[in-house]
Structure 1
C-alpha cells in the first residue's frame, strides 16, 4: 500500500487524506457517513450520540487534538481565537495520527473545529483534500440552542466565523461544497456525485446513510440575518453545487 512521507523525520501517512469541512450542526456527519459508506476510511469514530442518531462520525483523537490547539491559543470551539499557532507537540501528535493510518490508501477525518486550525494541517500534509457543506444560519442557530444552549446572536457569530474559514479555503483552491438545506433526494444525489468524482463508489445495494429524518431544524420563522452573515450565505450559495 502506497504511503506518503510528510516530514523529514520519515513519518508516514495515508497516500491520500481528505478533510470534511463545515460548521457544527451543518450536515458534516451525513456527508462523512455517506463518504465512509462509499469507501473512505475514517478510523475509530463515534457512531451514535443523543444529538445524532447515526453519530457525529468524528474520531475523538482528532477532536481532542483540535481542542488542545484551540485552548493553547486562548480559545475553544465556541470561542474561535483570532490567530492559531501549532506547538511542536501538536505537530508531532498530528503526524502520529496520520502515521497510524498509513496503511489506508484514502483516509478522512471530520471535525468542525478543523476549520479553525486548518493551516497546521495544510503545513503537515500539503496535498490535503477538502469537501465541505454548509447550512442556513437560522437552522444552525436553532440546533445550537437545543444542543448547547447558545443564543441566536452567539450562534450566528459562530456560523460566520466557521463559514468564513470554509469560504476562504474554497477561494484559495475550489473544492466541492454542498448545502444541507437541499431536499433529501437532491442532497443525496449531489453527495453521491461528489463521492464518484472523488473516486469512491457507493454501491447500489447499500442502504442510504442520509435521510431527511436526520435533519431536525429548518430556517423558517426567524428574524432577518445580520448583513455580513447574509452576504456570506449568498457567497456560499454561489460556490455550492
Structure 2
C-alpha cells in the first residue's frame, strides 16, 4: 500500500476512535509509534504524538483548538513539510494508518498529501460523549453537545464525499465485531481476533441515557449517522 492509500480513522473525541484503531491494529494495521497507556484510556489512545502535535499547531495557527473548532483551517508551508515528514516515516509496504480526533478538523491538509485515503468513521451517542467529557474535561453538557455537533457534521460531510464505512460505538459487542470484520476485510487486513482484547465493556463506561432530551440538531444528526451505519 502506498502513502496515498493510508487508512485514516475519523471520529470525535470519546467516540470510540481508540477502540477502532486498536482493533484494526490487532488485525494488522500498522499505526507506528503510538500511545499505549493513558490516564483516561487504559489501553492507550493509539495516537502518534507527532500527528497530534501537528494538528494542534494547525488549529492554534487558525485561532482555534480541539475544543474550539475554527471556522476555516489553512496549512502553511512549514506545517506541510512536517506533515510530509510524518507520512514519509511510515512504511510503504505495509497497510498503515493513523487515528487522531483533531484530524476531523484538519483533514483537508492531510488530503493534499493523501488524496485517496481509506477512511473509516466512528460515532457515539451524544449523551455518552457529554458524560465522558464532563468527567475528563469538566465540560458543561451545552459545550459538549456543541462540540459533538461540530465534529460529527464534519464526519457526515466527509462520508458524503468519500462514502466510507462507519461504525457505532454504542453497538453491542457482537454487532460491533461483525461490522469490524467487514471493515478489516475491505481494508485488506486479517480477520480481527475473536474476543478482541481492545473492545471490552470497560471501554464504554458512559453509555448515554437515551431518554435525556437532546438539542434537535444533535438528535437529528445522530439519527442520520445511525441510519448510515446500520
Q: Give the structure-2-normalised TM-score.
A: 0.95
Is the aligned partner of 1:210 residue 2:199? Answer: yes
- Where 2:120 maps in the other structure, the secondary structure is strand
Is the aligned partner of 1:62 residue 2:51? Answer: yes
Deviation per CA, 1:169-220, whole angstroms, max 9, x where unpaired?
0011200000000011211221122111211113657853211121110111
- Using a 3 Å threshold, how does the CA distance of structure 1 residues 103 and 120 change in structure 2: closer, same or farther? same
Unpaired runs of at least 5, structure 2: none
- Where 1:117 maps in the other structure, the secondary structure is helix
* Bigger fraction of residues in helix: 2
Partners of 2:122 and 2:186 in 1: how far apart? 16
Deviation per CA, 1:143-191, whole angstroms, max 9, x where unpaired?
0000011100000000000000000000112000000000112112211
Structure 1 stretch displaced more, 202-211 or 214-223 = 202-211
Deviation per CA, 1:7-31, whole angstroms, max 9, x where unpaired?
xxxxxxx363111000100001010
Residue matched to 2:106: 117
Question: Over alpha carbons, which structure has the higher Rg?
Answer: 1
Q: Would the aligned equivalents of 2:23 and 2:192 in 1 still touch at CA under 8 Å?
A: no
Q: Shift of the alpha carbon at 1:41?
A: 0.4
From 153, 166, 187, the counterpart of 1:198 = 187
Q: How does 1:1-241 map to 2 (within 5 A)?
A: 3=2, 14=3, 16-202=5-191, 204=193, 207-220=196-209, 223-241=212-230
Instruction: Let me know the Cα RMSD of the aligned residues.
Output: 1.6
Deviation per CA, 1:29-79, whole angstroms, max 9, x where unpaired?
010001001011000001111211111110100000000000000000000
Q: Would the aligned equivalents of 1:75 and 1:81 in 2 still touch at CA under 8 Å?
A: yes
Q: Would the aligned equivalents of 2:56 and 2:65 in 1 still touch at CA under 8 Å?
A: yes
Partners of 1:184 and 1:218 in 2: how far apart? 13
Q: Would the aligned equivalents of 2:4 and 2:113 in 1 still touch at CA under 8 Å?
A: no
Structure 1 stretch displaced more, 192-201 or 19-28 = 192-201
- How many pairs align? 230
Unpaired runs of at least 5, structure 1: 4-13
- Where 1:178 maps in the other structure, the secondary structure is strand
Q: Give the structure-1-normalised TM-score.
A: 0.91
Structure 1 stretch displaced more, 231-240 or 158-167 = 231-240
Partners of 1:40 and 1:221 in 2: how far apart? 34
